[in-house]
Amino acid sequence: MTFLPENIVFEGPLEPREKMGITFIGPDFFATDLKGDLLSPIASVFPKHRTIVSVRGIHACHASIMIELLKRRSPKRDFHEIKERELEIYQDAVPLLIRDALILVRSDPSDMERVFAADQILQLFFPRERIQFTGLHIPEIRRQVRQRGESWRMSPTPRSIEEICSHVQASKVQVSTGLTVYYNAPTGGRFLTYDEFIHIRTLLEQDRIEALARLREIRNLSQRENSWGVRELSFFLPAEVSLDFAGIEEVVSLLEALPASQSAEKVQGAFDRFASHFAKSAGAELMVDDYHNPVWRTTMFCRLFDINEEEIEEWALDLSPEFHLNVKWLPGASIVGDELRFDPGVHPRVHGLISHFWEKSGGLISINVGRIEESQSAREASGEEREVYLAVMTTRDEQDSIRILRLMKWDVIHRIKMGIPLEQAVTETFNYRNYIFDRLHAAARLGFPILSYSEIRLDERVPGLGVIPAFFFERQYISGVVTDKIPISCYKNPNFIKSLSGLLGDAATFTLVLGRASPRTGRIFYDDGDEVIQFNSRSIPTRLVIIETTGSFTDWTTPLRAMLPQCLTRFRAHLDKALESGVPLQVINGSVAIFAEALCNKLHEIKEIALAPCSNIRFLFNDRTPEQGGIRDRWEGIVYRLETTDLEELHGYMVNSPELRFTRPG
């Protein structure tokens, strides 16, 4: 097997050189030309031969260079043996991509030990934080990297429009001509856009030689597959759309067979026919390379990470869709035997969180911590400390436990920023921490479906302040979809909106009874990120879980009837989506009745629990001081509001409310 022409001459840029026991062929990593462009954005490591090839070209070229180097170094009698080992040498290669200040190592789920061996060689020259692994979309790769405690070294997906644009821009490469393509680092595939292809049309008239070179390159790369069975070049098209390359072969054949004076019209005609097929297959949104076009930008991002954009919400970490592109894994620690070994760049806070789980849990083989980059809610949160982390722990039987860790939003640092003296800030923080657990306890006693929370306290050293406490509230991660981010496709099923209506009625009861509202504006918190629904096998919602109790006890005086319209407005948005998706008006009106019935039934249950003669729930906080606005005062207001709420009046308002009044379309 020969990958490229033989008789490679090892001189000039191909002259081998030694560094720390590693042979280098090609320019140094990150070396640039006069324009500032990388001399070679692609390289290969051959771990068994402790060699790195960084010559510009495809990875098969690097394998050919490696083979020729071995021939040069071996006695002539070994040439035949080396010839037989060509495939083995090719399979030893670990492809690299140089991007910005990073080296991306292409992972291989069938042989990660070879990939990790290449990583060890690279670490002789670069710190680990500059070396990342591809393959975030492949479960087996994520598992093996996670078990090393190095999820933070997986090539991260962008988390904003700016980052996505930067990633796409950095993925532009050229192989051997002036043709620009987009390189998929995880698989090694490349994508040619219609916009780039149509530029060749002008070259047919202005630079026939370059046009032929580019078309040959398209033809040759499109006919080759790399070691993963991935086509070296594909057209940039929507998912599940394909395009035959035969038209390219026709254009190349005409250019090669006929002189310029005879072939111009025939060549241009053949080119235009293929370009028309390309344009039709790509569709209007993908015909122009436009980073500001969200369809083009998202589709290209999906191609560069080997994702089917139609399945993007199910991708990556098997987390709920709202976490997609929103977790940044951080340097942490690896577990070697019974020892926890921290990375040099680990942040003190991450160090503390990992230490907590290590001491608390037994039988772990890995702990990985990531930070949620952007809030899942659109609520106003200025001035609050809003750090949220995700911790993934794997046990020896390879079971994963996922925990959500939320920093107390009004902590010591927040209070000091407000001008409160340190000692008072610490005292108020402890009081607020107790207040949060009081609210959780009260909600649980009333029978609401909330999660179990525990506390993580870290004592952190802050310059100028000394050691201060930092509190995290820890809970289990719950799979599902938050109610304000349900995909529009779900609403087409009439049974979906009927089931959802009952669950949203239950959730509204939670908000109303506990007075969940913003302390800034008084607006209630409902259907905006704290309610998760879970589905059955038929994609019908069957369960709702309250994952956060944000804003509880903020409003303990406003009558439920006065708060209710805000809930109905939010509920109306779901009914509108169902109506727009073709659900009959009769089903919509029936869903209003289901919502009202569910809310009143749940409210009746809560009243029975709280007001039962033998119950002491109404006296839950009687051991506390009775100051205005304290926990006792608020709880008494909540119980009194329950006691004085007329369920029939509430039900009558909902089924006849202007917020839920629908008329037949047209």
151 occurs within a structural domain: no
Q: Give percent above pLDDT 90 in the chain.
A: 53
147 occurs within a structural domain: no
| Paired strand residues for 459 | 469
Residue where one domain finishes, among candidates 277, 310, 343: 310
Closest CA to 233 of 188, 178, 282: 188
Q: What is the mean pLDDT of residues 1-21?
A: 64
* Mean pLDDT lowest among 2-6, 20-24, 602-606: 2-6
Please check whether residues 603 and 643 belong to one and the same domain. Answer: yes
Amino acid at 607: K
Please check whether residues 355 and 390 belong to one and the same domain. Answer: yes
Q: What value, to the nearest 5°, has the Cα angle with vertex 70 and ends 66 and 76?
A: 145
Domain, as residue range, for 352? 321-476
148 occurs within a structural domain: no
Residue where one domain finishes, among candidates 105, 135, 165: 135
665 occurs within a structural domain: no
pLDDT the model gives residue 319? 65
pLDDT the model gives residue 122? 96
Confidence band, pLDDT 50/70/90 cuts, at residue 374: low
pLDDT tens, position by position, 314-367: 344 456 645 655 678 899 999 998 899 999 889 999 999 999 999 988 889 999
pLDDT the model gives residue 87? 80
pLDDT the model gives residue 323? 64
pLDDT tens, position by position, 437-456: 999 999 999 988 788 899 99
Q: What is the mean pLDDT of residues 185-213?
A: 92
Please check whether residues 395 and 512 belong to one and the same domain. Answer: no
Joined together, the tokens standing for residue 31 give 């070396």
> DSSP secondary structure string, 48-95?
GGTEEE--SS-HHHHHHHHHHHHHHHS-GGGHHHHHHTHHHHHHH-EE
Beta 22-25 vs 17-19: how paired, if at all? antiparallel
Residue 519 region by backbone torsions, left for phi larger than 0, else alpha for psi between -120 and 50, else beta: alpha
Residues 382, 401: contact at Cβ < 8 Å?
no
Please check whether residues 399 and 541 belong to one and the same domain. Answer: no
**How many domains, in total, are found in the chain?**
4
pLDDT the model gives residue 662? 81
pLDDT above 90 (res 13): no
Task: Report how far residue 638's alpha carbon sits from residue 516's, in angstroms, rounded to the nearest whole number.
Answer: 11
Confidence band, pLDDT 50/70/90 cuts, at residue 188: confident
Confidence band, pLDDT 50/70/90 cuts, at residue 375: low
Please check whether residues 301 and 187 belong to one and the same domain. Answer: yes
pLDDT above 70 (res 10): no
Tell me which of 347 and 160 has the higher pLDDT.
347
Please check whether residues 253 and 359 belong to one and the same domain. Answer: no
351 occurs within a structural domain: yes
pLDDT the model gives residue 495? 96
pLDDT the model gives residue 315? 43
497 occurs within a structural domain: yes
Stated pTM of the model: 0.68
Closest CA to 282 of 314, 243, 310: 243
* Mean pLDDT lowest among 171-185, 248-262, 453-467, 586-600: 248-262
pLDDT tens, position by position, 579-616: 988 999 999 999 999 999 999 999 999 999 998 888 88
666 occurs within a structural domain: no
Please check whether residues 341 and 254 belong to one and the same domain. Answer: no
Please check whether residues 580 and 470 belong to one and the same domain. Answer: no
Across 135-174, b (16+ Cβ under 10 Å) vs e yields: bbbbeebbebbbbbbbbbbbbbbbbeeeebbebbebbebe
Task: Classify residue 282 by burial, with Cβ atoms within 10 Å: 0-12, 13-18, 19+.
Answer: buried
Please check whether residues 492 and 387 belong to one and the same domain. Answer: no
Please check whether residues 91 and 188 belong to one and the same domain. Answer: no
Task: Report how far residue 459's alpha carbon sits from residue 413's, in angstroms, rounded to the nearest whole number.
Answer: 13
Please check whether residues 235 and 337 belong to one and the same domain. Answer: no
pLDDT tens, position by position, 508-554: 999 999 999 998 888 999 998 899 999 998 889 999 999 888 899 99
Please check whether residues 271 and 297 belong to one and the same domain. Answer: yes
Tell me which of 294 and 636 has the higher pLDDT.
636
pLDDT the model gives residue 4? 42
144 occurs within a structural domain: no
Residue where one domain finishes, among candidates 289, 310, 331: 310
